[in-house]
Amino acid sequence: MRTIQFMDTTLRDGEQSAGVNLNQQEKLQIAKQLERLGIHIMEAGFAAASPGDFQSVQQIARTIKNASVMSLARAKESDIRMAYEALKEGAQPRIHTFLATSDIHMKYKLKMSRTEVLETVRRSVRLCKSLFPVVQFSAEDATRSNYAFLAEVLEEAIQCGADVINIPDTVGYTNPNEYYRLFKYLKNNVPSYNNAIFSCHCHDDLGMAVANSLAAIESGALQVEGTINGIGERAGNAALEEVAVALHIRKDYYNVDSDLKLKEIKHTSKLVSRLTGMIVPKNKAVVGANAFAHESGIHQDGVLKEATTYEIISPELVGETTNQLVLGKHSGRHAFTERMMGLGYSLSEEERDRAFHAFKQLADRKKEITEDDLHALVLGETTSMDQLYEVKHLQAHFISTGTQSATVVLQNAEGILLEDAATGAGSIEAIYNAIDRILSLECRLIDYRIQSITQGQDALAQVHVEIEQNGMQVSGFGVAQDVLEASARAYVYAAGKLKKKTTITQ
């Protein structure tokens, strides 16, 4: 039975989703969870893209021990050497370099001939191999390339030291039958095919990313690439959780195995959704809220008699369990710490103290503390440690037929309290105007979204915002039982990011 390697690019391709802007701390949290999920390779970013990307890739490489950490790099010496500097301290460093091979990309984007492309591939892959133990080469827009030329390029890449060959469907153009035949063609026309691992990387522009990925595996691919929840540029990437569960449920057909810890899927999905602000549709396969919901009377009757009548995936397989009251206001620090460890968190002393304090405050107000509450609470508190400002006091005055007003008190990293008040057409606008006055911001609110993390009147609310100032766009999120407080936290989080970016660019 073949073992499939999973390469996750949530932190690189996924972050390229419109409106997603993860900071260093958020990326590290996702990387740690991907490690718990059992991802074999994670693409931590594009080290040469910016100083922030370099630092994130470097920090993740230094932290992650049980997965290979990789950086994307164009087929340019400067990119490759930058990736090496970011990854050289990693436990299992590897590089991912790429160059387009389709006629349309070579003519309009690269402005290179086939001869020039071949020479660039030789030069860049050789340099990569002199620096890294494992080199991955991608033929960008492979599915729209001339097959004979594509095979020639891949043979050169393998001869020059490429260990992994990726065949990306960069624009989501192909279909399962066509992609299957492409892999078979390459197996028969690349002489050194067996000297490298062949990988698939599919985009979802025509809604076939997962199906195409499964077709590639069926045709011999040993590595599959994608993102959690299928996020990514345009319509996104193949959703790795869907591929993993499909391979598990239909092992009888695909006859392959993987080492992923499927019980971590639901938690990973929620973490990525909360940090990116990209809400998972309720009807999404595997991780959607309705994935295991049954409303039809016929379906309900069947499930009650025998779950497999209408459920081919058990909720427990992916970590979807019934929430239970585990902790309450009388629980102590030790019980809280043990429960957090059981949920997969390894907290520092400072992180644990902050999270426990927030838990006690929540337990005084909320009757039932669920696992979703705990995940949201820890996520909010550990992320807030990296913020420039903290909401210390919030007071809003609501008048049903008039202008609203709000007073906000923030505390900066030095412990200094900053206070101001403002008015607005609504309570949230008044709060945001007050924060703008305190921080001397002239930004524009691009997006505001709110969702309930759990059910009931005492549910925690999560607010996601995106703001823009002078062409610089950032996002932030906030979690609280009160919608106004969650809204203020989200805006202050984003404002802190904006301040950091402004400082770096000045």
| CB 388 within 8 Å of CB 414 | no
Co-location of 452 and 355 in the same domain = no
Amino acid at 418: L
b/e sequence 62-93, b meaning 16+ C-beta within 10 Å: bebeebbbbbbbbbbeebbebbbebbeebebb
CATH number of 42's domain: 3.20.20.70
Q: How far is CA 342 from CA 264, 375, 428, in A?
A: 12, 12, 37
Query: Within a 10 A sphere around the Cβ of 18, how many other Cβ atoms?
Result: 9
Smallest CA-to-CA distance from 98 within 171, 167, 9, 8 is with 167
* pLDDT single digits (tens) 205-261: 999 999 999 999 999 999 999 999 999 999 999 999 999 999 999 999 999 998 899
| Of 506 and 132, more confident | 132
Co-location of 179 and 61 in the same domain = yes
Half-sphere exposure of 164 (CA within 13 A, CB side): 27
Query: Within a 10 A sphere around the Cβ of 415, how many other Cβ atoms?
Result: 7
Residues 6+ apart with CB under 8 A from 221: 4, 167, 183, 198, 199, 200
The answer to whether residue 283 sits within a structural domain is no
List the helix and strand counts (H, then E) for the chain.
Answer: 17, 16
The answer to whether residue 363 sits within a structural domain is yes
How far the first Cα of the chain sits from its last, in Å, is 56
Co-location of 111 and 127 in the same domain = yes
The answer to whether residue 172 sits within a structural domain is yes
Q: How far is CA 332 from CA 121, 221, 336, 357, 459, in A?
A: 59, 50, 6, 11, 22
Residue with tokens 């990925």: 213
Q: Note the pLDDT of residue 398.
A: 87
Co-location of 140 and 206 in the same domain = yes
**Can you tell me the distance from the alpha carbon of 332 to that of 337, in angstroms, rounded to the nearest whole number?**
9
The separation between CA 362 and the C-alpha centre of its own chain, rounded to angstroms, equals: 28
The answer to whether residue 332 scores a pLDDT higher than 90 is no
The answer to whether residue 103 sits within a structural domain is yes
Co-location of 248 and 379 in the same domain = no
Tokens of 378: 């820890």
Query: Within a 10 A sphere around the Cβ of 116, how many other Cβ atoms?
Result: 12
| Of 495 and 330, more confident | 495
**Can you tell me the distance from the alpha carbon of 314 to that of 307, in angstroms, rounded to the nearest whole number?**
8
| Of 89 and 330, more confident | 89
Residues forming a β-bridge with 448: 465
Co-location of 255 and 342 in the same domain = no
The answer to whether residue 299 scores a pLDDT higher than 80 is no
b/e sequence 43-55, b meaning 16+ C-beta within 10 Å: bbbbbbbeebbbe
* pLDDT single digits (tens) 90-113: 999 999 999 999 999 999 999 999
The last residue of one of the domains, among 384, 402, 420, is 384
Instruction: Give the DSSP per-residue string, 240-287.
Output: HHHHHHHHHHTHHHH-EE----GGGHHHHHHHHHHHH--PPPTT-TTT
Give the confidence band of 325 by pLDDT, cuts at 50, 70, 90.
very low
DSSP code, position 203 = B
The answer to whether residue 133 scores a pLDDT higher than 80 is yes
Domain boundaries, position 420: 389-505
Smallest CA-to-CA distance from 216 within 255, 277, 280, 167 is with 167
HEC sequence for 416-472: CEEEEEEEECCHHHHHHHHHHHHHCCCCEEEEEEEEECCCCCCCCEEEEEEEEECCE
Which strands, in side-by-side order, build the sheet including 444-452? 444-452, 461-469, 472-480
Residue with tokens 């959607």: 288
Q: Note the pLDDT of residue 362.
A: 79
The separation between CA 404 and the C-alpha centre of its own chain, rounded to angstroms, equals: 37
**Can you tell me the distance from the alpha carbon of 499 to that of 441, in angstroms, rounded to the nearest whole number?**
9
* pLDDT single digits (tens) 189-207: 999 999 999 999 999 999 9
* pLDDT single digits (tens) 255-291: 999 889 999 999 999 999 989 989 999 899 999 988 8
Co-location of 369 and 400 in the same domain = no
Least confident piece of the model among 29-43, 158-172, 481-495: 481-495
CATH number of 499's domain: 3.30.160.270
Co-location of 32 and 111 in the same domain = yes
Give the confidence band of 437 by pLDDT, cuts at 50, 70, 90.
very high
Q: Note the pLDDT of residue 323.
A: 42
Please, which contacts does 331-335 make with residues 24 or more away whose CB atoms are closer than 8 Å? 331/359, 331/363
The answer to whether residue 327 sits within a structural domain is no
Mean pLDDT calculated for residue range 430-445 = 95
| Of 354 and 16, more confident | 16
The answer to whether residue 385 scores a pLDDT higher than 90 is no
Residues forming a β-bridge with 225: 7, 201
The answer to whether residue 199 sits within a structural domain is yes
Residues 428, 430, 433, 437, CA torsion sign: negative
Q: Is 407 exposed, middle or buried (0-12, 13-18, 19+ CB in 10 A)?
A: middle
Co-location of 424 and 482 in the same domain = yes
Co-location of 461 and 312 in the same domain = no
Co-location of 176 and 46 in the same domain = yes
The answer to whether residue 286 sits within a structural domain is no
Co-location of 316 and 395 in the same domain = no
The answer to whether residue 328 sits within a structural domain is no
3 state DSSP class of 206: coil
* pLDDT single digits (tens) 58-71: 999 999 999 999 99
Give the confidence band of 296 by pLDDT, cuts at 50, 70, 90.
low
**Above pLDDT 90, what percent of the chain?**
70
The answer to whether residue 367 scores a pLDDT higher than 80 is no
Residues forming a β-bridge with 199: 166, 223
Q: Note the pLDDT of residue 382.
A: 65
The answer to whether residue 378 scores a pLDDT higher than 80 is no
Residue with tokens 């770096």: 504
Domain count, the chain: 4
